[in-house]
């Protein structure tokens, strides 16, 4: 009892508090009128405030072991406000003693003790991110390679705190070529997260596919475009390299396009994907197989059900793929290259326009084979996805992202540019 009396004197007006003799060492629900000693020597502890408090309700808490700076005490608002905001708070300084008093729905719980309001900070949390750039388009003309997939960045951005704005840019797919025979398509556009006062993370647009001539050549990109196969009077072109790098703490993914080598018959290679390089032509005349697009990568940031509802990624069973390379073109009855899982477009034969990469996957457009009508397909647009604990979701967005929940997490799906404020 002597220890309890000493501890209670740390709280202004604490002599009337019903102090609990049990030391709290794990998460607990606080009751109005009671005081708690909390021991965080073994790990962080969460105090959950009452869900239906009344005016004047009080709750007191003491750092029993002087360890709040090592392992914090998180104060869960439980649907109400703390100091006018609905986010949880933390005590992260040693030897603090705080009394909270409930006022009203406007301010909620306020500090009424020797501690200051500044002692109640907002807890940091982590945001998982997926950034996929727009896929590359293919060339116009003969024997075209598939467009490279957009670059892909994924990982966890730790120690985020309230009030920080994320500016999000979603890259468009590379446009088709429309200016004549053997004309280059266009690279995909970058997707970006720029964190105010912090880092910028860029996924590079996919490289355009090459044609079966000395020009246009395949371009490097997040994943490189596939090279074109030689025409009768042309030359093979090599696939573009990947130029996607890591952007700490996010990891970059991208692969080279296949080389258009070995055949003098309008056969293109596949564009690179986030998970594998583009394929090269194979077989022997007349049964030649154009190169397949490189497969994309799966992501666990969003479930297959929610990906389908939001029309992002390519769903295969329970897996969700992003950033597949476009398939290469083939002459006449030769086999076209398949697009890579993750929105890569399948190649086409004849003088038909190439297929487009799937929107909001970062997939590369497909090559086409022959003639002035044979324009390569455009790349698919990119996407940016953020995932974080629902308790930390601010609801402050622009650009109308999709909002879905999975378990205890909220997921924001940006198919166009916008912002999110933590």
Q: Do 131 and 170 belong to one domain? A: yes
**Helix H or strand E segment including 414:** strand 409-414
Summarised one tens digit per residue, pLDDT across range 188-202 is 999 999 999 889 999
Q: What's the distance, CA 234 to chain centroid?
A: 41
- pLDDT in the model for residue 230: 53
Does residue 358 sit in the same domain as residue 370?
Answer: yes
Radius of gyration of the chain (CA): 29
pTM, two decimals, is: 0.75
156 and 103 belong to one structural domain: no
For residues 109 and 102, give the distance between their C-alpha atoms in angstroms, rounded to a whole number. Answer: 4
Q: Are residues 245 and 273 in the same domain?
A: yes
Residue ranges with strand state E in 221-299: 251-253, 282-284, 287-289, 297-298
Q: Contact at 8 Å (CB) between 260 and 217?
A: no
Alpha-carbon distance of 367 to 25, in angstroms, equals 63
Q: Are residues 195 and 226 in the same domain?
A: yes
3-state secondary structure of 391: helix
Residues 6+ apart with CB under 8 A from 356: 173, 345, 365, 366, 377, 378, 379, 380
Last residue of a domain, one of 95, 122, 149: 122
Q: Please report, in tens digits, the pLDDT of each residue of the chain (422 residues total).
A: 334 333 434 434 444 789 999 999 999 999 999 999 999 999 889 999 999 999 999 999 999 999 988 888 989 989 999 888 877 888 888 888 889 999 999 999 998 865 544 566 666 788 999 999 999 998 776 678 899 999 999 999 987 877 889 999 999 999 876 666 667 779 999 999 999 988 999 999 999 888 766 667 888 999 887 777 655 455 677 888 999 999 999 999 999 999 887 555 677 889 999 999 999 888 776 677 888 999 999 999 999 999 999 999 999 999 999 999 999 887 665 688 899 999 999 988 766 778 899 999 999 998 776 655 556 789 999 999 999 999 888 899 999 999 999 999 999 999 999 999 98
Q: Based on the fold, state whether residues 109 and 193 are members of the same structural domain.
A: no
pLDDT digit string (tens) for 7-66? 434 434 444 789 999 999 999 999 999 999 999 999 889 999 999 999 999 999 999 999
Domain boundary residue, one of 90, 122, 154: 122
Per-position DSSP letters for 325-382, written without gaps between them: PPPPP--TTSBPPPPPTTTPPPP--TTSPPPPPPTTTTPPPPP--SSTT-PPPPPPP-
Residue 49 main-chain phi, psi, to 5 deg: -75, 160
77 and 141 assigned to the same domain: no
CA torsion through residues 97, 102, 107, 113, sign: negative
403 and 290 fall within a common domain = yes
Q: Are 214 and 253 in a shared domain?
A: yes
Domain that holds residue 194: 124-422
What distance in Å separates the CA atoms of residue 10 and residue 394, rounded to the nearest whole number?
A: 34
Distance between CA atoms of 263 and 18, rounded to whole angstroms?
Answer: 86
Where residue 12 sits, what CATH number does that domain have?
2.60.120.640
Quick check: 44 and 74 in contact, CB under 8 A? yes
Number of H helices, E strands in the chain: 2, 26
The last residue of one of the domains, among 104, 122, 140, is 122
Structure tokens at 293: 């697009």
pLDDT at 262: 59
Tell me what pLDDT residue 13 has.
Answer: 41
Residues 195 and 239 in one domain: yes
Asked if 107 and 129 sit in the same domain, the reply is no
Residues 365 and 269 in one domain: yes
Chain centroid, CA 237 distance in Å? 33
Distance between CA atoms of 65 and 422, rounded to whole angstroms? 32
Domains of the chain: total: 2
């Amino acid at each position: 009892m002597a220890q309890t009396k000493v501890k209670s004197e740390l709280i202004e007006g604490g002599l009337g508090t019903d102090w609990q003799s049990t030391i709290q060492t794990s998460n607990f629900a606080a009751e109005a009128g009671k005081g708690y000693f909390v021991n965080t020597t073994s790990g962080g502890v969460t105090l959950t405030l009452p869900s239906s408090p009344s005016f004047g309700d009080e709750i007191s808490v003491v750092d029993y072991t002087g360890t709040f700076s090592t392992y914090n005490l998180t104060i869960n608002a439980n649907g109400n406000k703390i100091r006018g905001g609905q986010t949880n708070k933390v005590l992260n300084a040693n030897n603090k003693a705080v009394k909270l008093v409930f006022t009203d729905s406007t301010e909620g719980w306020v500090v009424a003790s020797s501690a200051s309001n500044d002692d109640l900070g907002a807890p940091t949390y982590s945001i998982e991110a997926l950034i996929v750039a727009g896929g590359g388009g293919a060339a116009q003309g003969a024997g075209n390679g598939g467009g490279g997939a957009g670059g892909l960045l994924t990982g966890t951005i730790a120690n985020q705190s309230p009030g920080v704005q994320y500016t999000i840019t979603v890259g468009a797919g590379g446009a088709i070529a429309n200016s004549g025979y053997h004309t280059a398509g266009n690279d995909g556009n970058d997707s970006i997260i720029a964190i105010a006062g912090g880092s910028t993370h860029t996924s590079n647009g996919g490289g355009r596919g090459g044609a079966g001539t000395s020009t246009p050549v395949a371009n490097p990109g997040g994943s490189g475009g596939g090279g074109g196969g030689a025409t009768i009077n042309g030359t093979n072109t090599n696939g573009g390299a990947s130029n996607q790098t890591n952007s700490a703490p996010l990891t970059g993914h991208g692969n080279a396009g296949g080389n258009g080598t070995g055949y003098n018959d309008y056969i293109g290679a596949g564009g690179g994907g986030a998970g594998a390089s583009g394929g090269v032509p194979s077989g022997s005349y007349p049964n030649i197989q154009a190169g397949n697009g490189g497969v994309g990568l799966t992501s666990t940031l969003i479930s297959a059900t929610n990906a389908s509802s939001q029309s992002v990624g390519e769903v295969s069973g329970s897996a969700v793929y992003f950033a597949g390379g476009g398939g290469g073109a083939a002459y006449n009855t030769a086999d076209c290259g398949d697009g890579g899982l993750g929105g890569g477009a399948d190649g086409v034969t004849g003088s038909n326009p190439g297929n487009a990469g799937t929107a909001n996957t970062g997939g590369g457009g497909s090559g086409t084979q022959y003639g002035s009508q044979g324009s390569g397909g455009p790349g698919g647009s990119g996407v940016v996805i953020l995932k974080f604990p629902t308790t930390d979701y601010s609801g402050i967005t622009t650009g109308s992202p999709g909002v879905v929940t999975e378990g205890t997490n909220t997921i924001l799906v940006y198919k166009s540019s916008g912002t999110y404020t933590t």
